[in-house]
Amino acid sequence: MTCAGAQENSWAGTAANRTLAASLGDLVDPVQRIGDQMLRMRNGSDPRKVAAQLTAAPEAMRAPKVNDHAVHGLKFSAALPIELARQTVASRLVDEDGAAAALRDRRSLRYD
């Protein structure tokens, strides 16, 4: 069973949803904007796989990936090694506590 697309309504905030997106890997649609209210899953996602990943996500919490454009916006980025600059930006984008709280809450998955 697959669906056209699933939407995880979290209302967790942008940082928490970015953390969830990084932690859920290829289940999250990479083209969709990550906002403060929901995450959009890839088209064709198996609802059982989505539910299983959401359940397992607290054990695999990851920081969002940081692109070079974000690194160059960091003050003093030229003085930092690139990996340290990426870690610095990622630490500002992550919200593990908020993401974990969103996963503990009752969830609402909507399928198209």
pLDDT digits (tens, 9 = 90+) for 4-46: 566 777 778 899 989 988 888 888 888 888 888 888 888 777 7
- Residue at 28 is within a domain: yes
- Residue at 70 is within a domain: no
Domain that holds residue 40: 6-64+95-106
Q: How far is CA 54 from CA 24, 40, 49, 84, 101, in A?
A: 7, 13, 8, 30, 12
Rounded CA separation 11/75 (Å) = 31
Q: What is the pLDDT of residue 107?
A: 62
Rounded CA separation 53/75 (Å) = 36
Q: What is the pLDDT of residue 1?
A: 38
- Residue at 34 is within a domain: yes
- Residue at 26 is within a domain: yes
**What average pLDDT is seen over the chain?**
80
Contacts of 11 (CB under 8 A, 6+ apart): 36, 37, 38, 102
Structurally, how many domains does the chain consist of? 1
- Residue at 84 is within a domain: no
Write the Ramachandran bin of 87: left for phi over 0, alpha for psi from -120 to 50, otherwise beta: alpha
- Residue at 100 is within a domain: yes
pLDDT at 53 > cutoff 50: yes
- Residue at 40 is within a domain: yes
pLDDT at 51 > cutoff 70: yes
| Residue whose C-alpha is closest to residue 18's, from 41, 36, 1, 44 | 36
- Residue at 78 is within a domain: no
pLDDT at 68 > cutoff 60: yes
**More confident: 48 or 88:** 88
